[in-house]
A and B are shown apart, each in its own frame.
Chain A
Amino acid sequence: MLTILFDGIAYGMLLFVLACGLSVTMGLMNFINLSHGVFSMAGGYITAFLINRLGVPFLLCLPLAFLFSAALGMVLERTLYRRLYARSHLDQVLFTIGIVFMAVAAVDYVIGSQQQTVKLPEILKGRIDIFGGSIGLYRVFIIALCGCLAVTIQMLLVKTRFGSQLRAAVDDPRVARGMGINVNTVFAITFAVGSGLAGLGGALGTDILGMDPTFPIKFMIYFLIVVTVGGTSGITGAFFASLILGIADVGGKYYVPQIGAFIIYALMLVVLIIRPQGLFSRSKGK
């Protein structure tokens, strides 16, 4: 019981790191992006490559995965995605699905369809007993790391100058420009950091979630659930939505395996019916 709860929390934390970039770009910037998983996949694959081919230690791979995906995100944002901010939602959907299809087929072609594996360092293997439950050390590590990240991101958004610039840019780009904020740069940095976090999540998640070319499609729905259930008011909603989703998914698969993924889809629909703006968004005026 405790083990499952713990696994669920670890899974949820992981989902948060994977999806929080999306909750900013999609939730705040109102840009429908179905290709977020591509950046996670990039992070996962670069990690597998670094560890298995070059023997880079796992812990060093994590920041590298972040940087790699962030750079990829930055380049694609500058060249492609930014053209779509002002386009219709249909265009955004079509474009980002196209990116997903291309990425999936390209990875399949270049690397192959087999699962990627990463060797975890000895120190993260093994289990410890807490309160009578046996918990994998790696999961403890994930919870600690992702917890720190969540706090850091929240601080960045709320306390720093960049955070307030971002909020201003999202609220009304024209006014923000008038105030001397370089909106394009703010968006580009946000997109890059979000992609980087997705890459980091992919690196961390390779061992738990599995990593193969279909990753962006398989997990697209999870990311979307986090964003829609979490609401669009900020990343706090996404954080709690991730935890709920993680626990519900792990718990559901353990206790009622016969209905499988059914439980989370049903959960999402119920939330969307009751609160179309998401669970944690304050109802906006006007």
Chain B
Amino acid sequence: MSIALATHDLVKNFGGLRATDHVSLTIHTGARHALIGPNGAGKTTLINLLTGVLTPSQGNITLEGENITRLSQHARVQRGLVRTFQINQLFADMSPLQSLCLAVSERNQQGRDWWRVAGSDKAHVDEAEEILTRFGLRDVMMQQTRFLPYGKQRLLEIALAIACKPRVLLLDEPAAGVPEEERHEIIDILAALPKDVTVVLIEHDMDLVFSFADRISVMVNGALLTEGGVDEIARDPQVRAVYLGESGHE
């Protein structure tokens, strides 16, 4: 099996604090890989390193064999490494349609087009509309994003990432804050992701992790504790002790 994303001996220090501690992680193409660990284990820091929001103090990152450690954030996105955020990061003053059109145009290298009116390219708008329909956002696509209900915003958060046509998709707690009765919408969306897209999922909801993932890595205090298949992790006494045992659900 080929390797989609890998880190080698990744370290990130904040002053005296070591947020990422020699993490070497390998994620295979097409995997549904979950990253779990108690709060403050350094999962979001790791995502920020992978996507280029932060620069590592040491170590390197490869995407499909290419060393991307020094690449800018947008260059990684153009290579197919796309993320969502734990806390919604949306364009509050734009409509979902505008947001999606922009993401599609950027992917097609049309973002610097300063002459034609945005949306001139019908293929781009159609693609944006198709994604919005798939995510159940078509009815609200002309509203200002800031006025959308939270659940819809959460869906838009994922839709925006999908519009970038990810090869590797990093989902940072996609269901965070979504009420129980709307959760299934998110779960359905995740289940329907194309099989060739590699997905890394950070999640606290163990039901979601166990139903979705085929492989799980456990982080504690910035370091990888263990890695294995779903059953393996569920049985691992070490994991139970540091994570499942003490924090149960949240």
- Residues in chain A within 8 A of chain B (CB atoms): 282-283, 285-286
Contact = CB atoms under 8 A, between A and B. Distances in A.
A282 B14 contact: no
A283 B15 CA distance: 8
B17 interface: yes
B14 A286 contact: yes
Q: Is the interface of B mostly helix, strand, loop or mixed?
A: strand
A117 B15 CA distance: 50
A220 B59 CA distance: 45
A282 B15 CA distance: 9
Contacts of B19: 285
Interface residues of B, number: 4
Closest 7 CB pairs of A and B: A285-B14, A285-B15, A285-B17, A286-B14, A282-B15, A283-B15, A285-B19
A169 to B, nearest CB: 23
7 contacts: A282-B15, A283-B15, A285-B14, A285-B15, A285-B17, A285-B19, A286-B14
A277 to B, nearest CB: 13
Contacts of B17: 285
Contacts of B14: 285-286
A285 B18 CA distance: 10
Nearest to B12: A285
A285 to B, nearest CB: 3
B47 to A, nearest CB: 13
A283 B14 CA distance: 8
Interface string B1-27: 000000000000011010100000000
Nearest to B44: A286
A163 B17 CA distance: 26
A91 to B, nearest CB: 17
A283 B54 CA distance: 13
A283 to B, nearest CB: 7
B165 to A, nearest CB: 30
Contacts of B15: 282-283, 285
A88 to B, nearest CB: 14
A32 to B, nearest CB: 22
Nearest to A282: B15
Nearest to A283: B15
A3 B92 CA distance: 58
A237 B3 CA distance: 48
Contacts of A285: 14-15, 17, 19
A57 B19 CA distance: 59
A282 B16 CA distance: 12
A28 B200 CA distance: 38
B24 to A, nearest CB: 23
B12 to A, nearest CB: 10
Interface string B180-223: 00000000000000000000000000000000000000000000
B194 to A, nearest CB: 34
